[in-house]
Every structure is written in structure tokens, then in C-alpha cells.
Amino acid sequence: MRLKLLPIGALLATSVGLVLLFNAMQGCRPSTAQTVVTGDAASKVYVKPGSHDEFYNMVSGGFSGQLAIYGLPSGRLFREVPVFSQDPESGYGYSEETKGMLMTTSGFIPWDDSHHPELSQTDGVPDGKWCFINGNNTPRIALVDLGTFRTTSIIEIPNSAGNHSSPFTTGNSEYVVAGTRFSVPMGDEAHRDVPISTYKENFKGTVSFIHPDPESGKMSIAFQIVTPGVNFDLSHAGKGPSEGWFFFSCYNTEQAYSLLEVNASQRDKDFIMAVNWKMAEQLVKEGKGKRAPGRHYSNWWNESTHSSESTIVEDVLQLDPKEHPGLLYFMPCPKSPHGCDVDPTGKYIVGSGKLAALVPVFSFEKMQKAIAANDLEGDYAGLPVLKYESVLHGEVKKPGLGPLHTEFDANGNAYTSFFVSSEIVKWNVERLEVLDRVPTYYSIGHLCVPGGDSKKPWGKYVIAYNKITKDRYLPTGPELTQSAQLYSIDGDKMELLLDFPTTGEPHYAQAIPAELVTPREVKFFRIDENEHPYVAKGEKETKVERDGKQVHVWMTSIRSHFAPDNIEGVRMGDEVYFHVTNLEQDWDVPHGFAIKGAANAELLIMPGETQTLKWVPDRVGVWPMYCTDFCSALHQEMQGYIRVSPAGSNVPLSGTVVSNLEN
């Protein structure tokens, strides 16, 4: 009996043991990411209905090519401003007037990869006037006017291949810069058609200084500095004591042209390149620059004619630093530096070697001393390299893994993003001491503190722009939303307040108090100031005219009809241009314009504005057109017809508004 019970007892004991063991092991397994959010986080980001956010957050769209506008602290998306990519909902890049904004020497390029928004500055502080953003792919810089939140200027950068290190500004927006990501052979055709393996001899880099006209915002290239062939990554202007200098991070000083992930990661240190732009400006003034081939487009939006104007410039003024000692110095910086950030005092430059296990901080004062003492480590392609130890303020030890970017608060603290260890680390710039760290979900790229790259950070929040979203939101198939996270930095400890989804892929972002932007807001365009060549300033000015195969319709829209709304006499083979003027003179009354089968897009026309849609009919018949913006109680009645007759038809050309009561 006892012998029989023994196995049962053993079995029971084993089972109990297994259960205990299983429970114990649970604690050893990694738990899924649980965010620690304190109880009052919601109240800190709640902006009650009808109230406004405290900050605007201008966030790059990455591969969307656009610029997204959010409110902080709510994280609400207000607008996606079309910049480098066509936008069918507004007609940007489709209407006859806006197409020119996207012209380049490679032709009409209706997309790009926009990375870094940068607000214009006055005395080193964002002023709420403009927001610049770079086109990384087909090298361009765009200027978005914050009065209209529209792209009003785009300049193409010649002798550049990938405009990544851009568009960071000097303290009074005298210049925004463009450093090429790829070095390439340049010059005439014979100099450009070279074996890739001749990188060292033939490939060059450039950093360009672009001047936006303070009144019109129209951009032009002031000068370009030719550098040895490397990859430029990011940059920032000096300020305060370092005003007059610009700092660029560069990697691939190995000058690799293949398998860069290995070949460009060999050297222990790459560089931060310091450029004395005040000196460059002086050299240009003295006529020391040389004109070099550099065909490029400069596109500008004329708000009076509601049309783009493109200028083609054939060459560019270049400076060779080898001919001008003192113009350019290299500072060694560990392991492929990415971020290159200057603290609010302008005394320190933070380099972030993305493969380094530390964050080096350079001292501008020491850099000046090293230059004066000619304290060199050697040269790089004939240009002076300062000694690392001589220019170093110090290193932040064991900060985290994969440092990328740094922003600052007004209290002497820095916030650095760490991609690999997926966290934000707060540290003191003067003491180089790590103060706090918070996880991000997941793998943060850029980060943003309101005013955090300027002389006067407003602080309050740090926002993480993450590269991986995974399980943070309801899944939407293989392609997930992109994500940002808002943290409070008011206290000693950073505190996660909010996750919010973003459009495109957010790279860099800037934030500015709303009160600096809202006084500039344009509510509508004045019809009496409209100088569009095809404007109709009232229904009496509407007409339809034929010019060979082109039919031009001077059309108006007002709640709730078009004039004319019956158009006849269009023939197959014609190109019809609808020049639609929105006659409204009130805020928030746009009208849309759409025609069945339009191969391009619809139009969204703001009050007082004229925009043109080209339409090529493909069949005989009567075609509908209508307003796409729910403008009024009778929006659904805002429609009309276009009659298309066969080629050679003798139907007279007419455009009318017919009243049933008069018939």
C-alpha cells in the first residue's frame, strides 16, 4: 500500500515543485515595455476644446517631403504644409502657378525627403517669421512663410549630392547652410565622368551659404566652400562668443566609396569642421571668390500674382580654403559624428559620434587658443587639423549607446538622444555629469526642446522623435504610424507625458511659443491687391476666350456658385485653363474646384486668390465641375457644366450663368 502511494506522492511533489519553479521563472523573464506615467500626466497635456496650445511644433515629414505642424503640449496635428511633394488636395505642384516651385535642373521633381526644419532667428532667437527645411534627395532648401504656412521659396543647391547638413541658420538668418552628404566629382563634363574608384583625387565636398532676402525671402547662394571629399552630416552656427563660426560634423574621412558601413567606420576619429563664415563673407566682399559652374534653380512664390517665378542661375561663387588660411579647421571627433550642436552660451560644441561610447564637448575658447598657438595634430588633404586634447572641454563618460543629437535648456543642461540604448540622457554641460535618463519607445532619432538650439531655450518640454513604433499604437498592417513622445523637463527628473503619432517620418523638429507666430497670420488675400494676369475681380470680369487650341476661362467662385457655370464651345483637342478667383473676403472660406476626369488634381483656392487648373477633355460630352470644399449651406449646389464638342465643331464659345426665372 505504502509502496503504491509513494509514486503518487512523488508525482504530486514534482508537480507542485514545477508550478513553483514556473512562477519563480516568470520573474526572470523580460517583461514587456510598461511605461511609467504619473497620475497627473493627462492634465498636463490636456488642452480643453476651444483653447489653444502653448507652442507650435514644426516637424519634418521625412520621406513625405513635407512639413507637419502640431500643437504642444496636446500633440494635435493642425496642417501638413506641402513643401517638396505634390499635394493633390490643395493643388500644390499641380496648379499652373505652383508647378514652378518644384522645378530643378533635373526637371520637375515632385517629391523629396525633408529632414530638418529650422526657424529663422533674430539675435540668435527664433522669431516666428519663417521655417526653413531641407530637401535631402535633390539638394534643395525651402522657406515656409509662417504668415501663410506656405512654401514661398525653394533654392536648388549645385555641386551637392544629398543636402543633409542643412538648413541651419546664423543668428540673424543672414545665411542658412547646405553641406553635401555625398561628395562627388564636379566641374565640366570631362571632370564629372571619372571612375568611382578615383574618389580621393576627384571627389569634392561643398558647404554652401544661402542668403534669404530679409524682405521677400527669395534665396540666393552667397558662396560655396569647396572641401576635401567627405560626407557632411549635420551643422550648427556659433553664437555669442562663437558668433561668426559654423560647425559641421563630417564622417567618412576614410574616403570610402563602397560598403561604407564598414569602410567608413575604420578611423578612430572623424571631424567637426569649423568654418569662419565672417571671414568668408569678407573674402567674398574683397572679390576673392571664383565663379565656378553651378547651374541651379531659384523658385519664388509671388504673393501678388499668386504665381511662382523661377530663375536659372548658371554659376556659383566658390572659395577654396587652401588659398585662404584661417578659413577652415578640422577638430577630431570620435567615431562618425552625427549631431553637431552648440550650447546656448555659444561656448561649447557637442559632437555625437554615433558609434562612440562617450560624448565629446569642445570648447570654443580652447579652439581659438589652439588656432593662435598653431597647436596642430597635422593636416587633412592640406587643411589644418587641431589637436583633440587642445580643443576638448571634456567628455561625457558612459552616457549611453549611439548618441545622435543634443538640445539644451536655459539652465545649462543638455539632452542627448541615444538611438541604440533608446533613451534621452540629461547632463550638465559645464560639469559633463549625467543627471537623469528616460527610455523612449523606441529608438529615438532627433529630439527637440522649444528654442533648444538657440540662444534662448524656452525649455519646458523635450520631444522625442522615434524611429520605431512597434506596439505603441493600434496596428495598421505592416506599415505603422510614426511616433513622437513628449516629456516634461520642468523638474529634476524628466517625465513622460504623452505619445502622439506623426505623419511621414519625423526627423528634426523645432518648437516656438505660439504668441510669436499668431500675430503674423494672414486671414485672406485682398482681392484688390490680386495681380494675377487672369484674375476676375468680380463676376462682371468673367469671360471665356480662345487662343488657338487653348481656351482660357476667367472664372469666379463665391458662396455658392461659379461664374460662368455653363461653358460651351470647347472642342476636342483643346487645352482648357480654368483661372478660378475666389471672391470671398473673409477668413476660412476657401472654395474647391474639380472637374470629372481631371488628370492632375483639384484646386483649393483661398479667399482673394487665383489658381489655374489645366484640363484636357478626352471625350465629347457634357462634363461636370463642382466645389470640393464644403463652403456653405448650398455647397452641394455649387456646380456647373462644360460642353465638349468634336474637333471642328462650330458651337460658339460661351460662358454664362443662366437664371431659370428669366427663361
Peptide bond into 560 cis (omega under 30): yes
Judged by the rule CB under 8 A, the positions of this chain that interact with other proteins are 558-560, 584-586, 632-634, 637, 659, 661
d(CA 131, CA 145): 7
* Smallest separation (angstroms) from other proteins to the CB of 635: 12
Cell 482681392 locates to: 527
* Smallest separation (angstroms) from other proteins to the CB of 585: 6
* Smallest separation (angstroms) from other proteins to the CB of 628: 20
Q: Which is nearer to other proteins, 123 or 637 (CB)?
A: 637
Beta-strand runs (E) in 321-402:
328-334, 337-342, 348-353, 358-363, 376-380, 383-386, 392-397
* Smallest separation (angstroms) from other proteins to the CB of 408: 39
* Smallest separation (angstroms) from other proteins to the CB of 330: 57
Residue 513 CB-half CA count within 13 A: 10
* Smallest separation (angstroms) from other proteins to the CB of 112: 38
Q: CB-based burial of residue 47 (10 Å sphere; 0-12 exposed, 13-18 middle, 19+ buried)?
A: middle
Q: Which is nearer to other proteins, 605 or 644 (CB)?
A: 605
Q: Which is nearer to other proteins, 493 or 559 (CB)?
A: 559
* Smallest separation (angstroms) from other proteins to the CB of 558: 7
Exposure class string for 212-231: b at 16+ Cβ within 10 A, else e: beeeebbbebbbbbbbbbbb
Q: CB-based burial of residue 563 (10 Å sphere; 0-12 exposed, 13-18 middle, 19+ buried)?
A: buried
Residue 545: other Cβ atoms inside 10 A: 13
* Smallest separation (angstroms) from other proteins to the CB of 543: 23
Q: Which is nearer to other proteins, 216 or 560 (CB)?
A: 560
List the grid coordinates of 327: 578659413
Nearest to 154 by CA among 306, 277, 296, 56: 296
Q: What percent of the residues of the chain are helix, what percent strand, and what percent coil, each to the nearest 5?
A: 15, 45, 40
- Which 3 state secondary structure label does DSSP give 2? helix
Length of the chain: 663
Q: Which is nearer to other proteins, 390 or 632 (CB)?
A: 632
Cell 527637440 locates to: 448
Single-letter residue type at 29: R
CB-based contact 642:623 (threshold 8 Å):
yes
Backbone phi and psi for residue 570, each to the nearest 5 degrees, phi listed first:
-80, 135
Q: Which is nearer to other proteins, 350 or 638 (CB)?
A: 638
Q: Which is nearer to other proteins, 220 or 585 (CB)?
A: 585
Q: Which is nearer to other proteins, 474 or 661 (CB)?
A: 661
Q: Which is nearer to other proteins, 490 or 637 (CB)?
A: 637
Q: Which is nearer to other proteins, 373 or 634 (CB)?
A: 634
Q: Which is nearer to other proteins, 390 or 560 (CB)?
A: 560
* Smallest separation (angstroms) from other proteins to the CB of 541: 17
Backbone phi and psi for residue 111, each to the nearest 5 degrees, phi listed first:
-155, 160
Single-letter residue type at 410: A
User: Got the DSSP string for 166-210?
Assistant: ---B-TTSS-EEEEEEE-B--SSHHHHS--GGGHHHH-EEEEEEE
